[in-house]
């Protein structure tokens, strides 16, 4: 009975606990554990959904596999960030920044750049929204990056932390990218994490899920 319940609900440990509470036979723990684990594996191989999600799936709602890990928490910032980051000095003329932001060559144009001081330490981030209207680029070209960059302290990410933590910080700050700094030297920029990099982590999980679905369908066709 414990094995059947474990296979139907895909909750083997819960089934073991229920059976032990009903029987009060501690010696049955190992056989129960083995039987429930095997039942859970058989259920995963033969059934697409458990009894908990079957009715929801029949209504057309896409249900992911149970107990799946948070894909953003599985990846670190170092795995998903762009390491080849372009920084700009605080003393760079605004005319030059206009050229970089509105560059026509692919790969050169970005929406934001980390700003560093004369020592190469992170001082902030300048984005396209910080720039004045492009029609004023000639009149205000004598300004430098330090004149237009955001005055708030730079919010950064660290290579060792999870993408989930960095993404939550981006949402709280209302920004689309975070400079990544070394934990040993917080001022040294080692990369940049953008919204597209966060989406890459989700895309990897979706791709793995798609592959698993195809394998399941192949297995079901062969079984039929």
Query: How far apart are the C-alpha atoms of 159 and 157, rounded to whole Å?
Result: 7
Query: How far apart are the C-alpha atoms of 119 and 159, rounded to whole Å?
Result: 21
Written as one string, the DSSP assignment of 51-98 is: TTTHHHHHTT---PPTTPPPHHHHSBHHHHSBSS---EETT-BHHHHH
CATH architecture designation of domain 72-201: Roll (3.10)
Bridge partners (DSSP) listed for residue 113: 126
Q: Is 61 helix (H, G, I), strand (E, B) or coil?
A: coil
Residue 154 confidence (pLDDT)? 67
Q: Is 189 helix (H, G, I), strand (E, B) or coil?
A: strand
Nearest CA-CA partner of 72 in 173, 188, 191, 157: 157
* Chain segment 154-188, per-residue pLDDT in tens: 688 999 999 989 999 988 888 888 999 998 887 89
Residues 148 and 94 sit within 8 Å (Cβ to Cβ): yes
pLDDT band at residue 204 using 50, 70 and 90 as cut-offs: confident
Query: Percent of the chain having pLDDT more than 70?
Result: 83
Residue 67 confidence (pLDDT)? 46
pLDDT band at residue 35 using 50, 70 and 90 as cut-offs: very high
18-34 mean pLDDT: 90
Residue 151 confidence (pLDDT)? 59
* Chain segment 41-72, per-residue pLDDT in tens: 888 788 777 877 777 677 765 555 544 556 67
**Extents of the domains making up the chain:** 2-67, 72-201
What the block records as the tokens of 86 is 């372009």
The Cβ of residue 201 has, within 10 Å, a number of other Cβ atoms equal to 23
On the question of pLDDT at 221 being above 90, the answer is: no
Instruction: Give me the chain's average pLDDT, please.
Output: 81
- Tell me the whole-structure pTM to 2 decimals: 0.57
Phi-psi region of 13 (alpha: psi -120 to 50; beta: other; left: phi over 0): alpha
Residue 104 confidence (pLDDT)? 57
Q: Is 144 helix (H, G, I), strand (E, B) or coil?
A: strand
63-85 mean pLDDT: 74
Query: How far apart are the C-alpha atoms of 178 and 187, rounded to whole Å?
Result: 13
Query: Percent of the chain having pLDDT more than 90?
Result: 15
């Amino acid at each position: 009975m414990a094995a059947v319940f474990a296979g139907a609900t895909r909750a083997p440990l819960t089934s073991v606990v229920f059976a032990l509470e009903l029987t009060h036979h501690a010696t049955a723990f190992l056989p129960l554990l083995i039987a429930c684990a095997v039942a859970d594996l058989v259920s995963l191989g033969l059934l697409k959904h458990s009894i908990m999600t079957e009715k929801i799936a029949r209504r057309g709602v896409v249900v992911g596999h149970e107990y799946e890990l948070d894909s953003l928490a599985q990846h670190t910032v170092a795995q998903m960030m762009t390491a080849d980051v372009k920084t700009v000095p605080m003393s760079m003329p605004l005319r030059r920044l206009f050229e970089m932001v509105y560059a026509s060559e692919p790969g050169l144009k970005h929406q934001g750049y980390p700003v560093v001081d004369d020592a190469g330490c992170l001082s902030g981030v300048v984005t396209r929204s910080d720039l004045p209207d492009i029609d004023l680029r000639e009149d205000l070209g004598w300004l430098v990056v330090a004149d237009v960059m955001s005055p708030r302290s730079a919010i950064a990410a660290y290579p060792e932390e999870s993408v989930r933590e960095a993404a939550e910080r981006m949402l709280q700050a209302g920004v689309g990218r975070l400079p990544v700094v070394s934990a040993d030297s917080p001022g040294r920029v080692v990369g940049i994490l953008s919204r597209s990099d966060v989406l890459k982590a989700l895309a990897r999980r979706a791709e793995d899920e798609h592959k698993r679905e195809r394998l399941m369908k192949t297995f079901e066709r062969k079984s039929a």
